[in-house]
Amino acid sequence: MSNFKKSTSATIFIDYIPAELRQNQDWIIVYYAKIPARNKLKRFRNRVPKISSKKERLKFARKMVVSINNKLENGWSPFYEEKNLNYKSYDQVKDTFLKVQEKEVKDGIKRSVSYRSYLSYLKKLDEFQVTKSRQVKFLIEIDNSFIHDFFDYLYIEKGYSPRTYNNYLQFLSSFFIWAKSKGYIKQNPVESIKPKPEKKKKREILTNDVKSKLKKLRVNNFNYYVLCMCTYYCFIRRTELTKLKVGDVDLSNSSITIIGENSKNKKTDIVTIPNSLKPLLRRHLLKGKNDDFLFSKNKFLPGKTQLAPKKISDEWNKFRKVYNIENKYQWYSLKDTGITDLLNSGIPSLKVRNQARHHDLKMTETYTQRNISSDNTVKNADFNF
């Protein structure tokens, strides 16, 4: 039998005691395995089938011992096969969760960018296990202590910002809430982790000087300028811009339809084209066909090849460098500036909320309907870039 000794506070706990054959009235293979999330071993017994030839039975029993020990050595646990106990392996739960998310992306419930984020978060959790030799077999082994150590790893060792820290916190909370709803765990280990206070976002409202510089793009980069103005006037998000089709724009009714499967909130909404934007869009659309992307990979012209969201940000960074504009004026400063200018022009906050498709401006969304057509107040608003 193995020279295993019971663990003490001064020793590292061993996951298993190797299998061995015990020949009594019944021939049995006996081995011990660690109970998940507990420093305690449980005994397991496998009966050796009766074979008329004792020599053949002994040969078969030895094969059973070798097979069990090989599995134990490679990380297998008999608790994986315990039908009466809900011990789920971490890898099994993780894979199931990702399959659910992948299906929801296909069904249009979630965005593909969300799925990629989930993969990234879980990859970092796996990295922590390897880096710190904290590999877990079962989901229930990820307890409060493990989670606290993981978040210390992110914040202190990896140097992540409070914002990124909180993004991980939000994801893992959702992951464990889902696992708890499935009965894989009894308690969410993330519950005790508090979000970190975040600094004010770096991006700021565009000054008149920055606006003047951006207007120069109307001459030397017209189609990108129109794209920027769609965010300033209509508050359309970067990824949404890459999915818009020419047919989504209705100049006669001064509206752009954001289809649910292309929007962040998965709701189909209509935003209003203010009069100041309409001539720009009309010129931009001169050669566009309804099934073209409104802004394509081809120099932001209408076209058949979808634009990558990163290209929009990259072009903005080029613009900032050329005109020596500070980093605090980021791409989404266009949206922030547009909302601020529209509010300052005297448009009621409720109208702005509809145009921006916010759930913010507090509870107004709960009690009001979204636009079902273009809004004359927004269309005729006296606000210009």
Same domain, 267 and 364: yes
pLDDT value of residue 15: 80
216 alpha carbon, distance to own chain's centre = 37
pLDDT band with cut points at 50, 70 and 90 for residue 82: low
Number of C-beta neighbours around residue 211 at 10 A: 15
Angle in degrees, 0-180, between the axes of helices 112-131 and 144-152, rounded to the nearest 10: 100
Instruction: Give the pair of three-digit tokens for residue 284.
Output: 């931009």
Q: Domain containing 27: what range?
A: 16-78
What is the average per-residue pLDDT within 254-281? 89
Closest by CA to 138, choosing from 4, 214, 247, 37, is 37
pLDDT band with cut points at 50, 70 and 90 for residue 107: confident
The answer, yes or no, to whether residue 1 has pLDDT greater than 50, is: no
User: What dihedral angle (degrees, nearest 10) is formed by the CA atoms of 289, 291, 292, 295?
Assistant: 110
What is the average per-residue pLDDT within 74-103? 78
Side-chain half-sphere CA neighbours of 20 within 13 A:
11
Same domain, 137 and 222: no
The answer, yes or no, to whether residue 331 has pLDDT greater than 70, is: yes
Per the domain annotation, does 188 fall within a domain?
Answer: no
As a residue count, the chain comes to 385
By the 8 A CB rule, do 385 and 232 touch? yes
Per the domain annotation, does 189 fall within a domain?
Answer: no
Same domain, 252 and 302: yes
Same domain, 53 and 97: no
Same domain, 111 and 251: no
By the 8 A CB rule, do 241 and 294 touch? yes
Mean pLDDT rounded to a whole number for the chain: 84
Q: Which residues of 9-47 are buried (b: 16+ CB within 10 A; e: fewer)?
A: eeeeeeebbebeeeeeeebbbbbbbbebbeeebeebebe
Tens-digit pLDDT profile for residues 178-196: 998 988 888 899 998 999 9
29 DSSP β-pair partners: 21, 46
Same domain, 70 and 214: no
Unique residue bearing structure tokens 């448009």? 347
Per the domain annotation, does 283 fall within a domain?
Answer: yes
CATH number at residue 272: 1.10.443.10
Per the domain annotation, does 128 fall within a domain?
Answer: yes
The total of structural domains in the chain comes to 3
Q: Which residues of 214-252 are buried (b: 16+ CB within 10 A; e: fewer)?
A: beebeeebbbbbbbbbbbbbbbbbbbbbbbbbbebbeee
Amino acid letter at 169?
L
What is the average per-residue pLDDT within 4-14? 43
What is the average per-residue pLDDT within 322-345? 90
Per the domain annotation, does 51 fall within a domain?
Answer: yes
The answer, yes or no, to whether residue 367 has pLDDT greater than 50, is: no
By the 10 Å C-beta count (0-12 exposed, 13-18 middle, 19+ buried), 156 is classed as exposed
Tens-digit pLDDT profile for residues 32-78: 888 776 778 888 888 888 888 888 888 887 888 888 888 778 777 77
Last residue of a domain, one of 24, 48, 78: 78
What is the average per-residue pLDDT within 12-17? 68
% of the chain surpassing 70 pLDDT: 88
Same domain, 342 and 267: yes
pLDDT value of residue 172: 94
Sign of CA dihedral 70, 85, 122, 142: negative
Of residues 245 and 26, the one with the higher pLDDT is: 245
Alpha carbon distances (Å) from 73 to 14, 15, 33, 61, 108: 11, 9, 11, 18, 43
Same domain, 48 and 115: no
DSSP 83: S
Nearest-angstrom CA–CA distance, 80 and 35: 11
Closest by CA to 256, choosing from 353, 355, 365, is 355
pTM over 0.85: no
Per the domain annotation, does 201 fall within a domain?
Answer: no
211 alpha carbon, distance to own chain's centre = 33
Same domain, 137 and 263: no
Last residue of a domain, one of 56, 78, 100: 78
Q: Where are the beta strands (DSSP E) in 253-358?
A: 255-258, 269-272
pLDDT value of residue 145: 87
pLDDT band with cut points at 50, 70 and 90 for residue 9: very low
pLDDT value of residue 130: 93
Per the domain annotation, does 190 fall within a domain?
Answer: no
Number of C-beta neighbours around residue 74 at 10 A: 7
Nearest-angstrom CA–CA distance, 199 and 235: 24
Tens-digit pLDDT profile for residues 184-228: 888 899 998 999 998 766 568 899 999 999 999 999 999 999 999
pLDDT value of residue 4: 42
What is the average per-residue pLDDT within 99-127? 90
pLDDT value of residue 86: 59
Same domain, 60 and 102: no
